[in-house]
Amino acid sequence: MRRVLTVGLTYSGDPIAEVEIENFGLCQPSVNKERAAFPLYEYDTIIINPESYTHFLFGLAGEFSNEAHELGLLKRQNDSHDLDSAFDGEDRRKELEAAIAAGATVVWCLSEPKRINFFGYRETHLGYAAPTVASFVKRSNQLVKKGRRAGAVDPDSPFARYFEILMRTGWTLCLADPVEGFASIAATPEGYSLGGQLTLGSVRGWLLTPPTSQDSTNQLVRDSLALEKTDPAHEKYHGVFLSHTGIDKPFVRQLRADLMARGVERVWLDEAEIDIGDSLIAKIEQGMKLSRYIVVVLSKKSIDAPWVKKELDIAMNREIASGEVVVLPLLYEECELPEFLKGKLYADFSKPEEYEAVLAKLLRRLRIA
């Protein structure tokens, strides 16, 4: 039996064999036991549509969903419905991460943030239960529009039928400039994204423009069920960028060969990626954007190398912006570490006799072993 949780939308289609669909919210059971979802790691598929605070707290629309002062009205109606009492965002975040680690399919629907100043600024994007996804939407310039056409939809996408229905019923939200970590599967005629696949560190799933009819809601659920559950034991992080200086090239070549031989499918190394006539800057920037991790090879020469400093600066800024681990320090020889790396645990390859043991630790970080 496959268990599905819908938050903020309700499936009304025909029963699906071997599938149990539950509509609940993310409130705490102590606040509303009837409407609170079970721990998120108990579900195989999770669809979250935080259209309003009531949508994500209790799973469906309420009498105050369209009100500008929804939070105040909820608290006035029932003091326990105060957001801080009703919603434990940190606990739900941990549950969601555990669900993803176990291979659950997660779909987040775009929603207007509905920023309310109520004992501090609050946004409905809290309902994503994933701060990295909320940050991604904010940085990707979400637009509120009214459309019925798409410029391009990937026909091989698992949500192709969902977008077909949206072309009849209309769509309302899109991303004007998605930042890294997103692979778009549908776009508007002017090139804005209507949805795609997210990979933000350990947080993975789909981010889509929300349904605008019951038919599109039902299709969204059916398309989500068509996705096969991932096998976390065989999951691989693609795109490892090796930042280094030329004098350390022999070691870096060996490391690249060993990583690829053990299942890291794409290890970016300049001499393997840049051809005669290519722009060095453009190719390096492209390589870093496509890479999940930036592995910085630290040695007496590399810590003062201009290219390594620039790559490390870009990578650290990305880590700060995303809130996810991006930079993996790798000590090739004893040297004075940059101040902002001293707090990080590094892979110590400075002792040749410990090479295999340290390599195994690096592979575990990459979830290959």
Q: What is the token pair recorded at 246?
A: 């030329």
φ/ψ region of 205 (left if φ > 0, alpha if ψ in -120 to 50, else beta) reads left
Compute CA 245 distance to the chain's CA centroid, rounded to the nearest angstrom.
Answer: 31
Q: Are 195 and 160 in contact (CB under 8 A)?
A: no
Q: In this structure, what are the phi and psi dihedrals at residue 187, rounded to the nearest 5 degrees?
A: -140, 155
Q: In this structure, what are the phi and psi dihedrals at residue 143, rounded to the nearest 5 degrees?
A: -115, 145
| Domains of the chain with CATH codes | 2-229 (3.40.50), 236-365 (3.40.50.10140)
Name which of 235, 347, 262, 216 is nearest 254 in CA terms.
262
φ/ψ region of 118 (left if φ > 0, alpha if ψ in -120 to 50, else beta) reads beta
User: What per-residue confidence (pLDDT) applies to 208?
Assistant: 98
- pLDDT tens-place values along the chain, 369 residues long: 899 999 999 999 999 989 999 999 999 999 999 999 999 999 999 999 999 999 999 999 989 988 888 888 888 989 888 888 899 999 999 999 999 998 999 999 999 888 777 667 788 999 999 999 999 999 999 999 999 998 889 888 899 999 999 999 999 999 999 988 899 999 999 999 999 999 988 899 999 999 999 999 999 999 999 876 554 444 444 578 898 988 999 999 999 988 888 777 778 888 777 777 777 777 787 778 778 888 999 998 888 888 888 888 888 887 777 777 888 899 999 888 877 787 778 889 999 999 999 998 888 777 654
**Three-class DSSP category at 330:** strand
User: What per-residue confidence (pLDDT) applies to 262?
Assistant: 78
Angle at 177 between CA 176 and CA 181, to 5 degrees: 130
Q: In this structure, what are the phi and psi dihedrals at residue 330, rounded to the nearest 5 degrees?
A: -130, 115
Name which of 288, 287, 301, 366 is nearest 336 in CA terms.
301
Strand order in the sheet with 327-331: 267-268, 240-243, 293-298, 327-331, 347-348
Strand-pair category, 105-109 with 45-48: parallel
E strand intervals along the chain: 2-7, 19-23, 45-48, 105-109, 116-117, 121-122, 142-147, 152-153, 171-175, 182-187, 193-200, 203-208, 240-243, 267-268, 293-298, 327-331, 347-348
Name which of 62, 51, 68, 70 is nearest 6 in CA terms.
51
CA distances from 64 to 34, 67, 70, 211 (A): 19, 5, 5, 20
Q: In this structure, what are the phi and psi dihedrals at residue 81, rounded to the nearest 5 degrees?
A: -85, 5
Burial status of residue 320 (CB atoms within 10 A of its CB: 0-12, 13-18, 19 or more): exposed
User: What per-residue confidence (pLDDT) applies to 320?
Assistant: 79
Q: What is the token pair recorded at 191?
A: 């090139």
Q: What is the token pair recorded at 109?
A: 């629907």
Compute CA 199 distance to the chain's CA centroid, rounded to the nearest angstrom.
Answer: 4
User: What per-residue confidence (pLDDT) applies to 162?
Assistant: 96
User: What per-residue confidence (pLDDT) applies to 232?
Assistant: 46
User: What per-residue confidence (pLDDT) applies to 233?
Assistant: 43
Burial status of residue 258 (CB atoms within 10 A of its CB: 0-12, 13-18, 19 or more): middle
Strand-pair category, 2-7 with 45-48: parallel
